Each structure stands twice: as C-alpha cells, then as structure tokens.
Amino acid sequence: MIQLIIFRAFQGIGGGAIITMFMIIVSDIVSLKDRGKYQGISEAVAALSNGFGPVIGGLFSQYTTWRWAFWINLPLGGIAIAVGIWVLPLKKVHGDMRQKLVQIDYVGSLLTTVSSILLLLGLNWGGVTQPWVSAPVLVPLFLGVVVFVLFLFWEAKFTKLPIIPMHIFKVKTVSGVYISTMMNGMTFFSILYYVPQFLQLVRGSTPVTSSLLLMPFLAPISFVVFLCGQYTSRTGHYRNLVIFGYGLWCIAQGLQSTINEHSSVGKIVGTLLMAGVASGFTFQTSLLAAQAAVPRHEMAVVTGVRNFVRLFGSTIALAICASLVNNTLRTAVRPLGLSADQIAALLNDPTIINRSSALDLDANSKAVVIAAYTKGFHSVFYLTVTCTGIAFLASVFMIEQHELNRADDQELKRQAKEKLAKRKLEKKEKDLEAAQALPELEKTMAPPSEVSNASDKADADQV
C-alpha cells in the first residue's frame, strides 16, 4: 500500500502538470478571441478520454486485473512523449535557466502540500477510524488550517514569484471563477466516483455495467464543450453559457438526489445525461472568463491556480463524501451487532455486500446495510446540489463579460507569422546547403580507385 501511495503521488504530479501546461500552451499561442475554439477541442478530447476511461477500467476490474489500469499508461505515455518531442513547437526560453529555477516558490509549494495532506487526513479519519472529537482528527485539521494561513501570508508578503498572487483575487470575475470551479471539481468527481459505487452496491450492477451507465454523464461533455468553444469564438460571449450550465447542473443534481434502489434505468440515465450536458457548458467557458479578466502576462498564473482550485476541490470532496458514506454506514449497522472485522471489511470493500458468502449476513441485515449505503449516497448527492447552487450564484453575481479582442492581437499574429516564415526559410537554406554538399561528401567517401577512375574519365572527356 505504501508503494502504491508513493507512485500514485508521482502520477499525480505528472498529471497535474500536464493538465495545466496544455491549457497554458493554448493560451500562449492562440489569441483570446480564437481561444474558445481551440480550448474547446482540447477539452472535448479530455472529456472523451474521461468517458472511455471508466469503461476500460471496469473491463480491467471484471475480466483481468486492476494492475492494467497502470500498465496501460506505459504505451499511452510513450506515444504522448513522442508527439510532444517531435510535433510540439517550442518557444525559445530567454534568460538563465538556473536563475529561473532558483526563483520558483519552493516554500509555497511545500506549505500548500503539507496543508492539503493534513486537512485530508483529518477529514478521512473523522468518524471512520477515529471519533470526530479526538486528537488524531482535530490536530491534523487544526494544523492544516494553520499551515494554510502561513501559506497565504508567505504568498502575500515574502516570495517574489508566488504560486497564487493574492492580488488576482481582487478581480471579481477571477474570484467568481475560482469559487465556481472549486464547486465544479467537488461535484464532478463526486459523481464520477460515487455514482458507479451506488450502482454496484445498491443496484447490484457489475463494474462494466456501472461504467456503461456512467457514459450518459461523460459522453455528451466533449460534444457540448466543442460547441461552446465554437460559440465563444464566433460571438465573444461566454457568461451566459456559464450561468446556464450551472443552473441546469443544479437542477440535474436535485433530480439525481431522488434516485434509489427502485429507480428505473431510464431515470438514472436521464439525470446523468442532464448533468453531463450541463457540466459541458462550464468547463472551457469558465477558464476563458478568468483569462479574459486579467492582463496577458498573468494568464498562465490564473490558469494554473484555476486548475489547482478544481483539483483541490475534488480531493476535499472525495474525503468529505467518504466520511458521509462511512459514518452513515457505521451508525446504521450498529444495532446489527457486526464484528469489528465485518465492519472493516465493509468499509474497505463495499462491493463485498453483493457476495453473499463473504460476510455471512442474513437477508434482513443485508437490506439494512444497503439502505445505509443508499442514505449515505443521498448525502453525497445533496452535497453536489449545494455545490452547484453555490457555483450558480457565483457565476450570476461575480463573473462578468469581458472583451475577448485585445489591442495587440494583430501585432502578435504578424510577429508569429514572421517568425514562422523565417524558420521555414532557414530550414530551406539548410536543406539546400546539405544538397549542395552531398556530391563533395560522396566524393571524399569514395574508394581511391573509384576517384582515380572518375578523374581519368573526366580527362578523357576533356580530350
């Protein structure tokens, strides 16, 4: 388990960097007016991958081994590295690389990491392995808050290149985007993680079936994101899409909170489809709103913080949801008199309830456990309703419409075209020089007899 945690940490570092960097690259090479189109395409591809991922994971879990969820990253990662090396155009870095590395905010990175870990430990342990009112829970939560305050103080007063510049929160649109994006991450990943669990535990679905039933949520996202990107590039409007998306998503989560073990497949699919369509309106448009609200030189920072906030929200949400579900289960099964080993088995592997011989429970006890899980999942769904409601209010009252055309767009396009033309000309000249040098190179590499024969032939031709 320790090995898995360590390597998952490395995987998270790489994945977090990739998510942020591809958005920054698009922002760096595409004008704000056209950015919606290209970010829409990239977000659509990411959403499409999110759609296929759970299905593939379900197939691995049911028919092979969960280890394939990691092994499959080797060929896919190799392809991505090759494409990045040979296809991705790189801008020349100005200045000394060592000096740039020294300026990185290592202290801020350490503080935010420690704070996140402490908060997550307290939330995960609370009510599950330790009582909420106990030192193992309260101490990490308290220290996590203290370290987070130190992080904010460090960012505001000491570091030259802060991870999160405090002045960007003075921009109302940026603050609104960060609030709504954090709620977005909390809702999206709660659905992604707990809806399949609900389907497997409460309805007895297989991993593959639960993954397929999740597709109505994931599949439409790529299509909607792509359409939103085209719309914003053509019209320059994004605020109305953000507001509509979060409003519809809040309604969808309200409907989702009504599903239970007796709900039809049509109702489950319908609520997930509605949630997927709604979420598609919020991804690319909220990023564009934040970028449009700040100067060009702050776009990379705003983009990075936006992604950090979303992923941090997802991490916090999963910890809260785990506490909600597990605490509900512990309270419900207490009258059943289950042993500590049986309760631990349920918490470690909830799907064990569908294997009749694993826990040796009678029909009544099994029904109580399933009802407890249903109640716990409803708590999760109620949390997502609250999150989407907060995101809707933030988008209505804080996110503003900004102009997407910048005064220097045309000049930057002209400079980019000149650089590209210069690069092509230099390449053409190098190819021509290489072609001219080839006969001389072949002559110097030829055996002496061939050179002599060629010389004699040339003399004979002259005679």
Q: What is the DSSP string of 138-184?
A: HHHHHHHHHHHHHHHHHHHHT-SS-SS-GGGGGSHHHHHHHHHHHHH
Q: Token digits for 1?
A: 């388990």
d(CA 60, CA 1): 20
Summarised one tens digit per residue, pLDDT across range 72-101 is 888 888 888 888 888 776 666 666 777 777
Please give the average per-residue pLDDT across 22-45, as a whole number. 73
Q: Please determine, for residue 270, whether its predicted confidence score (pLDDT) is greater than 50.
A: yes
Higher pLDDT, 105 or 241: 241
Q: What is the pLDDT of residue 451?
A: 47
Q: Please determine, for residue 453, whether its predicted confidence score (pLDDT) is greater than 60.
A: no
Which of 277, 265, 275, 271 shows the shortest CA–CA distance to 228?
Answer: 277
Q: What is the pLDDT of residue 460?
A: 45
Q: Please determine, for residue 166, whether its predicted confidence score (pLDDT) is greater than 70.
A: yes
d(CA 89, CA 412): 17
Summarised one tens digit per residue, pLDDT across range 410-443 is 666 676 677 777 777 777 777 777 777 666 666 6
Q: Provide the CB-side half-sphere exposure for 148 (13 A, CA).
A: 13
d(CA 112, CA 95): 28
32-63 and 283-292 are packed helices; what angle lies between their axes, rounded to 10 degrees?
A: 140
Q: What is the pLDDT of residue 268?
A: 92
d(CA 282, CA 271): 17
106-125 and 135-157 are packed helices; what angle lies between their axes, rounded to 10 degrees?
A: 160
d(CA 123, CA 232): 39
Q: What is the pLDDT of residue 384?
A: 96
2-29 and 299-333 are packed helices; what angle lies between their axes, rounded to 10 degrees?
A: 150
Higher pLDDT, 370 or 433: 370
Going by pLDDT thresholds of 50, 70 and 90, the confidence category of residue 409 is low
Q: What is the pLDDT of residue 154?
A: 92
> Average pLDDT over the chain, rounded to whole?
82
d(CA 387, CA 381): 10
Query: Distance between terminal CA atoms of the chain?
Result: 86
d(CA 221, CA 43): 9
Helices (H), 64-105: 68-71, 73-86, 97-102
Higher pLDDT, 345 or 281: 281
d(CA 334, CA 337): 6
Q: CB burial class (10 A; 0-12, 13-18, 19+) of residue 73?
A: middle
